[in-house]
Amino acid sequence: MKLPNYVEARKRTKDKVEIEHYSNDIKDLGIGKTYHIKTYGCQMNEHDSENIKAMLEELGFTYNDDYQTSDLVLLNTCSIRENAHNKAFGMLGRLKHLKEENHNLIVGLCGCMAQEEGVINEILTKYKWINFVFGTHNLYRLPYILKEALDKNEREIEVFSREGNIVEGIPVKRDSKYKAYVNIIYGCDKFCTYCIVPFTRGKQRSRLKEDIVREVEELVKDGYKEVTLLGQNVNAYGKDLSLGYGMEELLEEVSKTGIPRIRFVTSHPWDFTDGMIDVIAKYKNIMPAIHLPVQSGSSRILKLMGRRYTKEEYLTLFHKIKERIPNASISTDIIVGFPSETEEDFKETLDLVNECKFDNAFTFIYSPRENTAAARLKDEVTLAEKEERLHELNDLVNIYFKENNDKLVGTTVPVLVEGVSEKKGILFGYTDTNKLINFEGDSSVIGKIIDVKVTSAKTWSLDGEIDER
Ligand code: 5AD
Ligand code: SF4
């Protein structure tokens, strides 16, 4: 048993990160058995689940869409806010009942929550029936951890507190045939005071440019149309490698692979260089859609959050991007109710939204996370106040989503067609600026990038018709 430890998780060492290659000599463990995986949280977790699926299938497991009839159920968890925690624990409650009926059911937990000392203590005392647990740093060891748990018929918990090497070559079973996630940097060293990620995902570690480019070249060969380069803070890419290249150079090289669409998430305003803006403006296959979390419009709160920029600095960057890439859509993340946030601070957030008129915004109520610096701050903002602020903020951001969408009506936009919408029974896809669009058409265009004329706009989506010209 290896358990996580917060003091260790916080440490940032100068230890050199080596590159290892995935290997697995365990086979047949899952023959005749089915698995189901529930994924919570961000794209990084979704992509980890694509690796987990492939590893399980290599062992012989087959996918089952229904967790209630699966032989193995794995929860890939998220720690970012309290409600993500609650969802996973709620699911564990349901699995406990299933396990009472079916003692052979194998239950596993992995992802960010597995890295939390508090969660593991709870599992040790209250969830003794869980078969296996592994963390974010040792995902590639899944076959061995699972074998250990099954062979010994006892619970196996293996969570490393500190990140290890980068492991290349982990198999992957991608959810889409057209869009792919590609990791470029793991971990985060920013330590924003509210954020648990630097603890659960470890120190910043970039993959080598050659490995990333090779993966994208393979995707091009396999007919993929879009890659999303993933990292907690992609702009810090390369800084830990001291090889003289960074995000700017990486974007340029990925662009030259000829993949039709490149996206990247998430950018921290702090490392967003002029060079990056130039590269995005220059290469047509780098999509003009930038996710640039601001978190708050009050410089006082930004300082308490440890964000390293003021409201004015954010606005300068924002306008610089808009000037050099006029069609860019900019989206953001905003937290309301950070400890000590006053009505005046919140008003500054509303003012910033009125100035930036974001194309999209993910808005959250601050949620204290175990062991983070902000969790120690006095928080006298009441939940009712926080909810009211969130409500007011959502009403405002929605106005601008609609306003930005309205501007597209009558124009023709490039759309990567993803499939038939379950709800509407018609085609859907995403524009270059990352807007969802629904339109009638033949299923032969699925997986292609086609021109669609926008006929009307809603708050969260567009409607259109194929432009045959
Ligand atoms: N409480 C609320 N929101 C948070 N986020 C990160 N940590 C917290 C927290 N403790 C939000 C930030 C980040 C997004 C991924 O989640 O806005 O950009
Ligand atoms: Fe969390 Fe800040 Fe790192 Fe983003 S940049 S993952 S908010 S610590």
Q: Which of 194, 265, 268 to mutate for ligand 1's pocket (most ligand atoms within 8 Å of CB)?
A: 194
Please state whether beta strands 205-206 and 132-134 pair in parallel, antiparallel, or not at all (unpaired): unpaired
Kindly give the distance from the C-alpha atom of residue 234 to the centroid of ligand 2, in angstroms, as a whole number.
Answer: 11
Token pair in block for residue 3? 């358990």
pLDDT in tens, the chain (469 residues): 888 888 888 888 888 888 999 999 998 999 999 999 999 999 999 999 999 999 999 999 999 999 999 999 999 999 999 999 999 999 999 999 999 999 999 999 999 999 999 999 999 999 999 999 999 999 999 999 999 999 988 899 999 988 888 999 999 999 999 999 999 999 999 999 999 999 999 999 999 999 999 999 999 999 999 999 999 999 999 999 988 999 999 999 999 999 999 999 999 999 899 999 999 999 999 999 999 999 999 999 999 999 999 999 999 999 999 999 999 999 999 999 999 999 999 999 999 999 999 999 999 999 999 999 999 999 989 999 999 999 999 999 999 999 999 999 999 999 999 999 988 789 999 999 999 999 999 999 999 999 999 999 999 999 999 998 8
Task: State in Å: Cα 25 to ligand 1 middle.
Answer: 39
Token pair recorded at residue 25: 């000599």
| Closest residue by CA, ligand 2 atom 1 | 195
Kindly indicate whether the domain formed by 6-158 is annotated with CATH number 3.40.50.12160: yes
Ligand 2 centre distance from Cα of residue 363 (Å): 15
Distance 186 CA to ligand 1 centre (A): 18
Q: What is the DSSP string of 268-314?
A: -GGG--HHHHHHHHH-TTB-SEEE---B-S-HHHHHHHT-S--HHHH
Question: CA 308, CA 313: separation in Å to the nearest integer?
Answer: 10
Structure tokens at 144: 């061995």
> Nearest C-alpha to atom 2 of ligand 2 is from which residue?
192
Mutate to test the pocket of ligand 2, among 115, 196, 197, 201 (most ligand atoms within 8 A of CB): 197
Q: Which residues contact 15 (CB under 8 A, 6 or more apart)?
A: none
According to the model, what pLDDT value does residue 134 have? 96
User: Which residues of the chain does CATH 3.80.30.20 include?
Assistant: 166-404
Residue range(s) occupied by CATH 2.40.50.140 in the chain: 412-466
Residue 142: how many CB atoms within 10 A of its CB? 24
| DSSP helix/strand/coil, 144 | helix
Instruction: Please give the single-letter amino acid code of residue 201.
Output: R
Residue 326, Cβ density class (10 Å: 0-12 exposed, 13-18 middle, ≥19 buried): exposed
Q: Which atom of ligand 1 is nearest to the CA of 367?
A: 1
Residue to mutate, 364, 366, 389, ligand 1, most ligand atoms under 8 Å from C-beta: 364
Q: Is 80 in the pocket of ligand 1 (CB under 6 A)?
A: yes
For residues 164 and 137, the answer to whether their CB atoms sit within 8 Å is: yes
Q: Which residue among 266, 335, 363 is best mutated to probe the pocket of ligand 1, counting the most ligand atoms within 8 A of its Cβ? A: 335
For ligand 2, say whether the CB of 95 is within 6 Å of any of its atoms: no
What is the architecture of the domain spanning 412-466? Beta Barrel (2.40)
Secondary structure (3-state) at 376: helix
Q: Is 364 in the pocket of ligand 1 (CB under 6 A)?
A: yes
Tell which residue, 90, 92, 108, 109, has the closest CA to residue 100: 92
What region does 111 belong to: left with phi over 0, alpha with psi -120 to 50, or beta? left
Q: List beta partners, residue 106.
A: 72
- By CB atoms closer than 10 A (0-12, 13-18, 19+), residue 31 is exposed
Q: Do the Cβ atoms of 186 and 202 come closer than 8 Å?
A: yes
Ligand 2 neighbourhood includes 296 CB (under 6 angstroms): no
191 CB less than 6 Å from ligand 2? yes
The predicted pLDDT at position 1 comes to: 84
How far apart are alpha carbons 455 and 411 in whole angstroms? Answer: 8
Atom of ligand 1 nearest to the CA of 293: 18
> Is the C-beta atom of 232 inside 6 A of ligand 2?
yes
Ligand 1 centroid from CA 171, angstroms? 30
The boundaries of every CATH 3.40.50.12160 domain in the chain are 6-158
Ligand nearest to the CA of 374: 1
**Closest protein CA for atom 7 of ligand 1:** 195
132-134 and 19-21 strand pairing: unpaired
Query: Going by DSSP bridges, is the β-strand pair 179-183/166-168 parallel, antiparallel, or unpaired?
Result: unpaired
197 lines ligand 2 (CB under 6 A): yes
What does the alpha-carbon distance between residue 29 and residue 32 come to, in Å, rounded to a whole number?
Answer: 9
Which ligand has the nearest atom to the CA of 192?
A: 2
Looking at residue 131, its pLDDT comes to: 96
| Cα 287 to ligand 1 centroid, rounded to whole Å | 25
State in Å: Cα 436 to ligand 1 middle.
24
DSSP letters along 389-404, please? HHHHHHHHHHHHHHHH
Q: Ligand 2: does its nearest atom lie under 6 Å from the Cβ of 283?
A: no
Q: Of 352, 207, 337, 338, nearest to 269 (Cα)?
A: 352
pLDDT in the model for residue 8: 85
Give the model's pLDDT for residue 366. 97
Q: In the CATH scheme, what is the code of domain 166-404?
A: 3.80.30.20
Ligand nearest to the CA of 188: 2
